[in-house]
Structure 1
Amino acid sequence: MKKDLSCSIYRLILLSFFYVAPFALSAQAFYSLKGTIRNTENVLLPGATVFIHELNIGTTTDISGNYQFLKIKPGSYHMHVYYTGYETAVWTFKISGNENIDIILKSTSLELKAFVIEESTLNIDDQERSMSVEVINREFIQKNAGTSFAQTLEKIPGINSINLGTGISKPVIRGMAFNRVAVAENGIKQEGQQWGADHGLEIDQHNIDRVEILKGPASLIYGSDAMGGVINIRPAIVPHENTFTSSLLLKGASNNDLIGTSAMVEGNRKGNIFRFRLTHQNYADYKIPADSFVYNNFLLPIEGKRLKNTAGVENNFSSTIGLQRNWGHSTVTFSAFDQHAGLFPGAHGTPRAFKLAHDGDYRNIELPAQKTKHFKVISNSNLLVFKNWLTIDMGYQQNHRQELSVPFAHGKGPTPNGDVELDLLLQTYTANVRYQVEKSEKSNFVFGLSGNFQQNNRGGFQFLIPDYTSKNIAGFVFQKFRMNKDLFFNAGLRYDQTVLQIYEYLEPVYEDSVSIRSYVRRNSNINRNFGNFSGGIGLSYNLTEFWNFKLNVGSSFRSPTTNELASNGIHHGAFRHEMGDSSLGSERGYQLDLGLSHHKGDFFFALTPFFYYFDNYIFLTPSGRFSTLPEGGQTYVFRQTKAITTGGEFKADYHLNKAMHLGLTGEYVMAHDILLHFPLPFTPPFSVEIEGEYELETINSKFRNTFFNINAKAFAAQNQTARNELKTPGYVLLNGSMGTSIDFKKQKIQFIFSVNNLSNKKYFNHLSRYRILNIPEPGRNFRITVVIPFEGKIKKK
């Protein structure tokens, strides 16, 4: 296995070198780009950030508001300009000689999106985009950080998370999750065992600088897994040439005694770039505002109001090296995620009081537990070819997941050696190629090809899913067209072909502890071939200077996954027996997305309704029957139906003055089974959040960027539940935070202090996997984060 892994890495590095080398050695004319940045009152803006998207290079304006880029090749480019207190400017231009571009920025007091707001895959800026996209940056993540990345994203309307304790979670977009939400990092879709409700997202949130969240179907670009939306994690912006930056982050939390640290260093020496990060965090059993819970009419204790065996530890590493030249840029990134997390012992089989007794150590991890390791090597290149841009992303991933529990004999068979109940090893090879052609100032095309190969091997003394291989190849074309300065159209078409080979698994039936009497077939050989088209059209129209309207209509698809076709076993982490159906066909969805936004002066408002109709919607539903397998709980089965999902989000922000602003957000999702006339399971309830924030850019020479925030989020009762699904009562949570940057001589230190569930409210999260056991969510939690940044110059030799 180690040999296979090493070979995969070497191949990827060699391929990256061979396709980049010809561009690095090519000779071509060079030109310069210069200009001045000022505001509408003709005041020069020194220190403004100017960034060229395709080259991934940036600079800042000098004391006279001037900027310059030297040695730029002829071609088409997109430039972004950002300055605090002003709207971001996006400028599209072509280089065929020396150019001078002066840009005027409009002032604003609203919290706008991060300055690189261009959708990276298709090079579409916010004005031209026909779908709802949220953009967040490192500052947002630090101010709103949860224990995991998916929990951090819950601040955004339309985004929820499915949680298993405090350290394991996965994102939900408009009520859809699992294989309906794609997470891409550095151009490569994350491939773990994302079908599992108890399988978290294997990504270090401290290694994230920029994120685009596309709410709505994105199968056109990202393929089958993007029916609900995409979380696109983009590479960090490279430091200016011959500079370096670094930071040390320290954090702690009171509810689960979390202690964490993350250290990063990055630099750019003559266009040779590097970035390294190490992260560690560990946490203890978390506290809940209850000393007992009721399961199946039994009252069971929670000793010390701490949920036993919910501690965990996480270690992550990432490194990036690359080249940044006038022909483009190329990088190779290695990353490793390693998590060991305990599971509440009541989750395995029927909860018993003797299993829940305190063991004397809140930080130890006993059985049951899970270990997850995710290794990735990713190569990204953006190359100038015939005055247009060729993007090549390649990746190898290895996801190794182990679920641990006390071994037991099957019938009369022998007791297994070891405690690995479920062992899943998934290897994925991915390649994506896109070529963007600027046909004219009004129109451009993007042509894309992608391929994916997966191999999954199982082990452990329990069976859940079999071995399988999957092959996928796809191609797409996308066009955007500008009718005039206010009206933009886009359209695209994609075709996918997937071949899935699932292998038979026979489970032995023992005569005694040694002799095998016969075999039981848990699943048969399954060969499936899925071919699907997806497409869409959209528009963005500036009704006036202050109003924008968006419309997107499309059709998307999703091929059934191995667990939906062939699972047949106890999934203890999700507290159920899951059973697949080999006859399932592809899902087909038809989507309508709308958007209306208003931005004038100190007020911003946006409304984003949606309506989706699905043929052959695949979902896991309680059967109402208990499993015949030991400690199996209720049997859940995969079924297909006709379904609709509808709802929307709204967002408003108003500045009372330069320092004080009020925000209001809300979200609603309704998901319904048309054939059975029941709601679909695991649908988040309606929620609304109101917040007030007071910001002071400067208090004195010592304190800068100080803020105080208080917010309340109300969740309605979720009574629209599937058959045999628990209803969840409504609740209100109070939260607050404050932070500042303090200058100690020449060193800046940033402090952020926050409190969640200020009133220590006892409540149930409808999407929590512990909801099935009537376990309430964590109680009051104080958090502190300290960030110490460093920066400097790299000496030229």
Structure 2
Amino acid sequence: MRLNLVLLLLVANSVVFAQSSLSGQVIDIAGEPLIGATVIIHELEKGMITDLNGQFRFDNLRKASYHLHISYVGYEAITVAANANGGDPITVILEPTSLELSEIVVESNHYKTGPKEHTLAMEIIDMEYLKKNRKGTLVNSLEDLPGVNAINTGVGISKPVIRGMSFNRVIVNDKGVKQEGQQWGTDHGLEIDMFEPGRVEVVKGPSSLMYGSDGLGGVLNVFPPSLPDPGTHRGSLQSIYKTNNQSISTSSSLEGNINDKVYRVRFSTQDFGDYRVPASSFTYNNFNLPLYDNQLKNTAGNERNVTAMVGLKKNWGYTTLTVSNFHQQAGFFVGAIGIPRSYQLTPDGDSRNIDLPMQEINHFKVISNSNLLLGKNWLELDLGYQNNYRQEQSNPHAHGKGPRPEGTQAHALRLQTYSLNARYFIKLSDRHSRIVGLQGQQQLNSRGGFEFLLPEYTSASIGAFVFEELSFKNKLTTTAGLRFDYANRNINSFSEPIYSDETTIERYYQRNGNINADFYNFSGAVGVSFYPNKLFNAKWNLGTSFKVPTAAELSMNGIHHGTFRHEVGDSTLTSERGLQADLSLSYQKSNISLVISPFVSVFNDFIYLAPTAQFSSSLDPDAFPEGGQVFQYRQNDAFYAGGELAAEYHPLEEIHLRLAYEYVYNYNLDTKLPLPFTPPASIYSELDYEVSINRVSWIEGVNIGVNYKKVMDQNRVDRNERNTPGYNLLGASVGCEFNFNRFKPDLYFSAQNLLNEAYFNHLSRYRLLNLPEQGRNFVISLNIPFAIK
């Protein structure tokens, strides 16, 4: 990493380039200057606000093409391409809007285009939205967006679902590097500090062209806040309290810019106790078991997360180095491993105690991000190293006739990942641009513990792509691209000794054999975005996608206690191929927005985890005496379809109405049955009212809101999968922003599951235990920003 940073600085400073300027004026539709509008150069992450005449000027720029983001409260944000050549000033006209997300929309980092030119459906979420919707994890904060769901394991553990796809079908990129942990597991969360993101891009639809294997369902791109301007130091103190499990979360951050040398540090904590459900008992395997004080014993946990960044911002671009560590301890409900017993559920007198069974996760990351101006083109380079160490602790139990295991470490999985992402952006003309990209990854996985689930393996992949974008008369943008990928899976065999008594090994049971498999894939995509005027935008995208089998899908063979099943891989799995089409139609005025996004996909050799009628004891009674339903990785041809509808309306400037609907339909073309783990259809509605309090100078505004979510029955399930009834959730919120001169804190109160409804989440693994989700929860959130200039 250090060598990379030195080389980049040498290249950037080895030649003296001609300097130029870029200037302009920001006005409204009446021609009046907008004072204090924000203007940011995307490639340099440099910004300023307009003066009393609405004017801005950037000096000492290298001659090149830049993208400017211009925003102002109450006006629609836009992206403008401009050349720094010392020419005439540009004029930017902003139109008024009452739609909050329209005020902050910026271009995608990866596609280098504004929202109207995107050919894929995409939502860009800013820090304000994340602050108002924090629910314990980053993924839960996004699940009210249409097409986005979460797979939950109690509180504090969740993973994203986009358009019904999850696990290794959704890519999460943190600062340009794919987040790599043990994401194949239902009970494995996303190891990202929920306070860290400054912006999240939710890309829906086939994304294999730009991101590679696993980008079938969609992509979450997570970015930090923008870098501060020279001479600026700022930070924040944040705290969240939740009543249901007495959760206390804090985060402190400080960042600054000293003569173009930038830094950022953040430290976050989270401590939570056993959470409550609206039930006093639950039924499992015909046993009725008690829940004392409505609590799920041993669901407490804690997090300690730290991030530090240093870097440089110059007229040739910027380069940063970020080091972070995510550490979490979380208990598993004591009835979650093996067959629950009443005596295990008796309270221990401490709702914050973390006892066995439990998991401990440490995720260490080093990420280098550079954006360099080479000539008149831009090179983005992301390098990453990740060390994910996952331990699961549980009481050892008798394994057949052999010796009883020592210690409590059931699993110790360590995954190390090295990543390289390079993208070269070429501006061929004012209407024609090209992206040439290269991606590479190397993984090493080791295992330990008295349980076996996943063998040791190494994995390597490399991919190259070219992406073309062509615009016509500011009304039509077309895109097309091709990609080639190679991947290798080298998996070690593992054999388990079977004992005839306490000391004698009778034979060996082979959990998996040696596997050394190569995979080659070509993929392509074409897209169109048509925007004849400012009101209407139509997007269409057609792409081929692929998914390389993971090591877990090829070789897993063991009882996964955390998910109540025995999971078995298949060494004969081949690459999955898909043809995916995506359409988005949007209509937007100053006070109304309507977006309809249908999609349809056909997959050959679709890889999925299927429930079977077998139990593990039938595979080998000596190796698996405990039992457990067998889930087998399989391949079948499949059909996916569905869509989202999102509407926003401001009948008055103070009133905000939002409606979101989502539906996913899938079908196994071989078995003639639905695919498992499919989220049900849902409708989310929200009403906000902004109250102006003119008589109190230190209160800037109060926001009052109510929300309602209706989730339909899920009766379209796979064979041996359980139906889930629908439910209704009611919530409410009150937010207040204060202004004490330069001190501007904000305070939010919210209520989740206000009616304390007992309901089952179809995607929750606790659904198999007939355990309802979290009950009524009141949340208090305080944010105290500060700045020194």
Tell me the CA shift for residue 544 of structure 1: 4.0
Q: Which residue of 2 aligns with 1:655?
A: 650
Q: Which residue of 1 aligns with 2:269?
A: 280
**Secondary structure in structure 2 of the residue aligned to 1:225:** coil
Tell me the CA shift for residue 94 of structure 1: 2.0
Q: Which residue of 2 aligns with 1:229?
A: 218
Tell me the CA shift for residue 443 of structure 1: 0.4
Task: Choose the corresponding residue for 1:766, options 762, 776, 781.
Answer: 762
Gaps of 5+ in 2: 618-623
Would the aligned equivalents of 2:263 and 2:308 in 1 still touch at CA under 8 Å?
A: yes
**Secondary structure in structure 2 of the residue aligned to 1:590:** strand
Task: Choose the corresponding residue for 1:677, options 647, 672, 680.
Answer: 672
Q: Distance in 1 between matches of 2:422 and 2:314?
A: 20
1:297 aligns with 2:282: no
Q: Distance in 1 between matches of 2:86 and 2:63?
A: 7
Task: Choose the corresponding residue for 1:434, options 413, 419, 423.
Answer: 423
Distance 1:544 1:76, change over 3 A: closer
Q: Which residue of 2 aligns with 1:724?
A: 720
1:186 aligns with 2:175: yes
Would the aligned equivalents of 1:314 and 1:338 in 2 still touch at CA under 8 Å?
A: yes
The CA RMSD measured in Å over matched residues stands at 1.3
Would the aligned equivalents of 2:73 and 2:103 in 1 still touch at CA under 8 Å?
A: no
Task: Summarize deviations over 1:264-295 as a string: whole Å, max 9, x none.
Answer: 00001111000000000110000000000111
Q: Distance in 1 between matches of 2:52 and 2:254?
A: 28
Distance 1:206 1:99, change over 3 A: farther
Tell me the CA shift for residue 353 of structure 1: 1.2
Task: Give the stretch that moved more between structures: 702-711 or 184-193.
Answer: 702-711
Would the aligned equivalents of 2:78 and 2:105 in 1 still touch at CA under 8 Å?
A: no
Q: Which residues in structure 2 correspond to 1:146-545 (within 5 Å)?
A: 146-545=135-534
Task: Summarize deviations over 1:30-60 as a string: whole Å, max 9, x none.
Answer: 1111221111112211111101111111111
Q: Distance in 1 between matches of 2:182 and 2:70?
A: 40
Q: Which residue of 2 aligns with 1:645?
A: 640
Distance 1:519 1:658, change over 3 A: same
Task: Summarize deviations over 1:85-144 as a string: whole Å, max 9, x none.
Answer: 001121112223355222111111122246352111120211111111011011111101
1:558 aligns with 2:547: yes
Q: Which residue of 1 aligns with 2:688?
A: 693
Would the aligned equivalents of 2:76 and 2:102 in 1 still touch at CA under 8 Å?
A: no
Q: Distance in 2 between matches of 1:172 and 1:708?
A: 29
Q: Distance in 2 between matches of 1:598 and 1:317?
A: 42
**Secondary structure in structure 1 of the residue aligned to 2:101:** coil
Identity %: 47
Tell me the CA shift for residue 652 of structure 1: 0.7
Q: Which residue of 1 aligns with 2:621?
A: none
Q: Distance in 2 between matches of 1:202 and 1:491?
A: 34
Task: Choose the corresponding residue for 1:664, options 642, 659, 673.
Answer: 659
Would the aligned equivalents of 2:417 and 2:444 in 1 still touch at CA under 8 Å?
A: yes
Q: Which residue of 1 aligns with 2:733?
A: 737
Tell me the CA shift for residue 706 of structure 1: 2.1
Tell me the CA shift for residue 515 of structure 1: 4.4
Tell me the CA shift for residue 240 of structure 1: 1.6
Q: Which residues in structure 2 correspond to 1:62-101 (within 5 Å)?
A: 62-101=51-90
Would the aligned equivalents of 2:301 and 2:354 in 1 still touch at CA under 8 Å?
A: yes
What amino acid maps onto 1:499 in structure 2?
A: N
Task: Give the stretch that moved more between structures: 413-422 or 768-777.
Answer: 413-422
Task: Summarize deviations over 1:481-502 as a string: whole Å, max 9, x none.
Answer: 0022111100111111001100
**Secondary structure in structure 2 of the residue aligned to 1:589:** strand
Q: Which residue of 2 aligns with 1:52?
A: 41
**Secondary structure in structure 2 of the residue aligned to 1:747:** coil
Tell me the CA shift for residue 64 of structure 1: 2.5
Q: Distance in 1 between matches of 2:241 and 2:685?
A: 26
Task: Summarize deviations over 1:344-398 as a string: whole Å, max 9, x none.
Answer: 1211111211111111111001111111110100001010112100111100000
Q: Distance in 2 between matches of 1:371 and 1:697?
A: 47
Q: Which residue of 1 aligns with 2:703?
A: 707
Task: Give the stretch that moved more between structures: 301-310 or 501-510.
Answer: 501-510
Q: Distance in 2 between matches of 1:558 and 1:676?
A: 21
Q: Distance in 1 between matches of 2:53 and 2:638?
A: 59
TM-score, normalisation: structure 1: 0.97
Q: Distance in 2 between matches of 1:478 and 1:120?
A: 14
TM-score, normalisation: structure 2: 0.98
Distance 1:529 1:135, change over 3 A: same
Gaps of 5+ in 1: 1-11
Task: Choose the corresponding residue for 2:752, options 736, 756, 779.
Answer: 756
Count of paired positions: 782
Q: Which residue of 1 aligns with 2:586?
A: 597
Q: Which residue of 2 aligns with 1:5?
A: none
Task: Summarize deviations over 1:603-653 as a string: whole Å, max 9, x none.
Answer: 110000000111000111111112112444211101110111110000111
Distance 1:596 1:745, change over 3 A: closer
Q: Distance in 1 between matches of 2:238 and 2:666?
A: 41
**Secondary structure in structure 2 of the residue aligned to 1:17:** helix
What amino acid maps onto 2:331 in structure 1?
A: G
Q: Distance in 1 between matches of 2:177 and 2:528?
A: 27
Tell me the CA shift for residue 718 of structure 1: 0.5
**Secondary structure in structure 2 of the residue aligned to 1:573:** helix
Q: Which residue of 2 aligns with 1:575?
A: 564
What amino acid maps onto 2:635 in structure 1?
A: Q
**Secondary structure in structure 2 of the residue aligned to 1:564:** helix
Task: Choose the corresponding residue for 2:786, options 768, 779, 790.
Answer: 790
Q: Distance in 2 between matches of 1:655 and 1:570?
A: 53
What amino acid maps onto 1:460 in structure 2?
A: G
Q: Distance in 1 between matches of 2:248 and 2:191?
A: 19
What amino acid maps onto 2:95 in structure 1?
A: K
**Secondary structure in structure 1 of the residue aligned to 2:744:** strand
What amino acid maps onto 1:491 in structure 2?
A: A
Q: Distance in 1 between matches of 2:509 and 2:769?
A: 32
What amino acid maps onto 2:459 in structure 1?
A: S
Q: Which residue of 2 aligns with 1:4?
A: none
Q: Distance in 2 between matches of 1:362 and 1:343?
A: 13
What amino acid maps onto 1:669 in structure 2?
A: V
What amino acid maps onto 1:765 in structure 2?
A: N
**Secondary structure in structure 1 of the residue aligned to 2:739:** strand
Q: Distance in 1 between matches of 2:115 and 2:538?
A: 12
Q: Distance in 2 between matches of 1:597 and 1:745?
A: 40
Would the aligned equivalents of 1:712 and 1:732 in 2 still touch at CA under 8 Å?
A: yes
